[in-house]
Amino acid sequence: MIGVGLLGSGFIAESYADALLDVRNAELVACFSRNSARSGEFAAKWKVAAHPSMDALCADPRVDVVVIALPNEVHLEAVEIAARHKKAIICTKPLARTEAEAQKILDIVTREGVWHGYAESSVFSPNVAKAYEMVKAGGIGKLLTMRAREGHSGPHAPHFWDAETAGGGALLDMGCHTVESARHFFGKDNRVVEVMAWGATMAHQDKTTGEDTAIALLKFAGGEMATIESSWIERGGMQLRHELVGSAGRLVTDSSVGPVWGFIENPVGYTVEKADAETGWVYPVPEETRAYGFSQQMRHFIDHLVAGKAPSETFEDGVVVNRIIDACYRSMKSGQWEKVA
């Protein structure tokens, strides 16, 4: 049984805690939150020990792997502490605020020789995983283009709105998902060589100086093209969609509308993340943790940790994602295609 220590107590930490219930050989044993009141509430809910500091959690002998579910600006510090205690580490997306910071994180785990996993959930979503299986089997011939979009009305936590501290706006927050999806489908050896991006603050000028909507084009070495769309201005719930076009067909995945939908006049409570309204047309997503790939991701990580193998998503992937997004931000400023080193 692998003991898990969780850093964070927000929405993503709750999702990870729930996902771990689906991992037969892992158990959440400890937590830490920068908010002591929430730390106690989280510990009571999940029946785990609450530690007063990140160092205390990482020093806990029951903890084999540390899961980082903290704001972007804390990732580097958390990795430094966990690696010093020789713990395996799983870090939520994005790995860092910039490529340079992500490289520091990778250098730390490499130097300390600790196992690491980059928690990019989108590639583990059941519908995306099935589409990937069909693409790899040649179902749509050679994959030529991909359009991926993620949109909602804005982040849960206030720290995401602080673009200077978080490192960026919607593109960094959500584009990291779709950038990695593109790398996943087109092949990680088929690198992104050039990008063109646009972003603007269109609806949330009172909340953020970062872009609340963005579009990026990713050109791959093999000639393929991915279109990435990220939005914090779309009300009415999550928009999660992939459109894959090949020489012999096309595939679409859409997590926006699940197996249940309808029109209601009376509130029924929580229906879906960022629903924005309790009545009217609703599109509830049953078992969100599993529908969005969190459970499958955690099973993959723990199984590979137990086997002593690197997972399919590591901090190396996180560095590349940050590198591509850095180039997109350069393109936003220059208005031109920018090379990806």
Check the CA dihedral 23-28-33-37 and report its sign.
Answer: positive
Name the 3-class secondary structure at 285: coil
DSSP assignment of 220-267 = ETTS-EEEEEEES---SS-EEEEEEEETTEEEEEE-SS-S--EEESS-
Q: Tell me the per-residue pLDDT of 142-162, one tens digit each, with 9 for 90 and over.
A: 999 999 999 999 987 788 899
pLDDT at 167: 97
Tokens standing for residue 173: 């927050």
Has residue 260 got a pLDDT over 90? no
Average pLDDT value for residue range 219-226: 98
Question: Mean pLDDT, the chain, as a whole number?
Answer: 94
d(CA 263, CA 27): 39
d(CA 58, CA 38): 19
Has residue 129 got a pLDDT over 90? yes
Q: Tell me the per-residue pLDDT of 11-62, one tens digit each, with 9 for 90 and over.
A: 999 999 999 999 999 999 999 999 989 999 999 999 999 999 999 999 999 9
pLDDT at 268: 82
Higher-pLDDT residue of 337 and 283 is 337
Give the model's confidence band at 269: pLDDT under 50 very low, under 70 low, under 90 confident, else very high: confident
Has residue 283 got a pLDDT over 80? no
pLDDT at 320: 98
pLDDT at 35: 92
- Domains of the chain (ranges plus CATH)? 2-122 (3.40.50.720), 123-294+322-339 (3.30.360.10)
Tokens standing for residue 262: 């309808």
Give the model's confidence band at 208: pLDDT under 50 very low, under 70 low, under 90 confident, else very high: very high
Average pLDDT value for residue range 293-303: 97
* Omega of the bond leading into 61 within 30 degrees of 0 (cis): no
Give the model's confidence band at 275: pLDDT under 50 very low, under 70 low, under 90 confident, else very high: confident
